[in-house]
Structures are given as structure tokens and as C-alpha cells.
Amino acid sequence: MKVIVGLGNPGRQYEGTRHNVGFAVVDYLAAAPAAGPFRRRFEAQVAELTEGGEQLLLVKPETFMNLSGEAVRKVIDFYKVEVKDVLVVCDDIALPLGKLRARARGSDGGQKGLRSIGQHLGTEEYSRLRVGIGAPGEHADASDHVLSRFKPGERAVVEDAVAAAAQAVLLWLREGIDVVMNRVNPDPKKEKPPKKDKKDRPPAKGDGPSEQPNPGRDANDAS
């Protein structure tokens, strides 16, 4: 058996919020014909899905985000599941909207649900799949941002990201976290800004008159 944990907050008031994108991925998987209904167990909503002959446990903790580890610990203890067979899906404000990033292990990166799971499991050696929800505005509070709902113009991107994350979960089930990482993680080379064209570069010494920096601007500012 393998366990998929989607992180979020229970209750109608939190439905559709950015912090609940992990719940959305689990709900997407639970809509498959081979999935059973959700039942309340281990302080969580739990459903079973059979995929490719493998039994998959879908878990949505009801302990609220900051205490997610309590429910995860109970599920693992009851089913005697090894940590390597657990994948946690959560939101990430450090990723652009809709971007996915998979890791086989690592720090919680400030995500309090992951922090709670690490504390209760006593290890950070569990796989996680993060879904980008976009960063808050310059003057916005991070807590308010994660509990806000997606704007109309963002919803199509998020729906595609949830579907892609669900496919990444099934890929993890079949081929493991390394394959998922190679498939979904952003390519740093592609994320680098394009080099300036030659004609946009400043003239080389001797090519023409040099220009003095604008006195009203810091010389370290980028153009």
C-alpha cells in the first residue's frame, strides 16, 4: 500500500482556498471510477483507490494544516506503511502559480503542514509534491494570501496544475519519485532570462563615446 496525503484545512469556509490545493489533488484522484468513498478515520477523510493492481490510500487530514502530522502518523502506524511509500501534496507560495516541484526529501521550507509531518514522523525522508499558488503581493500578508481564493483569471491555470499533479502522483506510484522529479521540476536553464542581443549591449571600449551614469539613479540598479 502507498499513501497520498493532500494538505489543507477542513470546513466549507476553506474550500477552494490556495492552502487547500493539496485537498484538490486528492479529490481529483478520488473521482476515478476505481476509487471508493471518503470515510472519516484517523482524524482524516480517507478513501482507497486501486490503480494498476496497487492499493493507494488517499488522505485528507482534518486536524487543520498546522497539525497535519497527527493524522499522518496515525495512518502510517495503523497500516504499517514505510515512509518511502508516502507522498505529500501541498501548496507553495515560493513557486509561480501552477508550477510543480517534486522532492524525495528536504526541509519544510516554511510550509507548516510539512513541518508538522516531519515532527511526527521524526524524519524528512518522505516524498513531497508542491503546487505553486503564487506569491502574495508586495504589501500582502502571507497568511491572508494562502487562505484567499484564486482569482477568476487564475482558475484555469490552477485546474490544469491540479490535473498535472494528479498525473504526477500516478507516475510516482508506477515509477518512483526520481522519475517524477525529472518530469515535473522546472528546468533552471529554461528559467534563466534570455541573453541580451549584441545590439543591446553597451559599446566596447573605443567603439564610441562613453556615457556617464545617470546621477539621479544608483549605479547598481538594473535597467
In a domain, 201, yes or no: no
In a domain, 173, yes or no: yes
Mean pLDDT of 56-77: 95
In a domain, 80, yes or no: yes
Range of the domain at 22: 2-191
In a domain, 47, yes or no: yes
Cβ 90 vs Cβ 111: under 8 Å: yes
- 45 phi/psi in degrees, rounded to 5: -90, 125
Q: Is the pLDDT of residue 151 over 50?
A: yes
In a domain, 93, yes or no: yes
Output the CA–CA distances (angstroms, integers) from residue 63 to 18, 42, 107, 112, in the order listed: 17, 10, 21, 12
Output the CA–CA distances (angstroms, integers) from residue 209 to 202, 205, 215, in the order listed: 11, 9, 18
In the chain, pLDDT over 90 holds for what percent of residues? 71
Number of domains in the chain: 1
Mean pLDDT of 124-138: 91
In the chain, pLDDT over 70 holds for what percent of residues? 83
Q: What is the mean pLDDT of the chain?
A: 85
74-118 pLDDT, tens digit per residue, is 999 999 999 999 999 999 999 999 999 999 998 888 888 999 999
**At 69, which amino acid appears?**
G
pLDDT at 139: 61
CA distance 131 to 19: 10
pLDDT at 221: 37
| Lowest-confidence pick of 47-56, 65-74, 168-177, 182-191 | 182-191
pLDDT at 190: 56
pLDDT at 192: 52
Output the CA–CA distances (angstroms, integers) from residue 24 to 5, 31, 209, 218, in the order listed: 11, 11, 60, 46
Burial class (CB in 10 A: 0-12, 13-18, 19+), 117: buried
Please name the residue ranges forming H helices in the chain: 21-30, 68-79, 112-121, 142-146, 155-175, 177-184, 188-191
Output the CA–CA distances (angstroms, integers) from residue 158 to 24, 37, 141, 164, in the order listed: 10, 24, 21, 10
CA distance 94 to 22: 15
Model confidence at 136, pLDDT cuts 50, 70, 90, reads: confident
In a domain, 151, yes or no: yes
153-169 pLDDT, tens digit per residue, is 999 999 999 999 999 99
CA distance 181 to 179: 5
For residues 172 and 143, the model is more confident at: 172
pLDDT at 210: 38
pLDDT at 149: 92
Annotated catalytic residues are 19
CA distance 11 to 127: 26
For residues 89 and 142, the model is more confident at: 89
pLDDT at 169: 96
In a domain, 198, yes or no: no
Pick the closest to residue 61 from 1, 6, 17 (CA basis): 6
In a domain, 196, yes or no: no
CATH at 87: 3.40.50.1470
